Structure 1
Amino acid sequence: MHVILLKFAENKAAAPDFMEGHNSWIAKGFAEDVFKLVGSLKSGGGFILASNENEAAIKERVNADPFVEQGIVSAEIHTVDVKRTISQLDFLTDNN
């Protein structure tokens, strides 16, 4: 499982110009069963919970986000070795 934090960077003002591409990138992550949860951080930026890809693949996916490519956000990827969940989240222990 991966926790991804997207924090606004030096090119934040360009976000509206790349929002459509960013939203398409998010939709693709859900369609490919990689993204499980996406949301906004109250402090600014975004949060993604992802699984079903190894660390190298998730880095490649994140680097393909138009917001990352354009320097609108910087990405922090934290890979989590899930040990225990509630039963509804057991799928997070099955994969990367």
Structure 2
Amino acid sequence: MFIILLKFSANRENAGTYMEAHKAWLKQGFDDGVFLLAGSLQPGLGGGILAQAGSLDDIAARVKEDPFVEEDVVKPEIIEMTPALAGERLKFLVG
């Protein structure tokens, strides 16, 4: 499992230009079954994604394709996590 942090860079003001392409990239991640959850980092720091993919290389390649990353609107950070405990609603995440 991966936690992807997309923190705004100095080019944050360009976010509006690439927002529709970024949303399409997010939709593709959900359609592919890789992204489980996405949302904003508060207060206005960028975004975060919870993902489940085959490997760190797989998820890193996908993140590089985000238009926000390509255009340096955000700086990505990928954290790999091995879930060990979960509440009943999220038991499916524990391998």
Shorter-chain TM-score tier: over 0.9
The answer on whether the counterparts of 2:12 and 2:73 sit within 8 Å (CA) in structure 1 is: yes
2:60 matched to 1:65?
A: no
Query: TM-score, with normalisation over the residues of structure 2?
Result: 0.93
Per-residue CA distance 1:25-63 (angstroms, 9 max, x = gap): 000000001111000011310010000331100000001
SS of the residue corresponding to residue 63 of structure 2 reads helix
Residue in structure 1 matched with residue 38 of structure 2 by the alignment? 38
**Aligned residue pairs: how many?**
94
What 5-or-longer segments of structure 2 have no aligned partner? none
CA RMSD, Structure 1 to Structure 2 (Å): 1.0
Flag as ranges the 4+ runs of structure 1 deviating above 6 A.
Answer: none
Distance 1:48 1:60 in 2: 15
- The answer for the alignment partner of 1:14 in structure 2 is 14
**Change in CA separation of 1:68 and 1:61 when aligned onto 2, cut-off 3 Å:** same
Structure 1: runs of 5+ lacking an equivalent: none
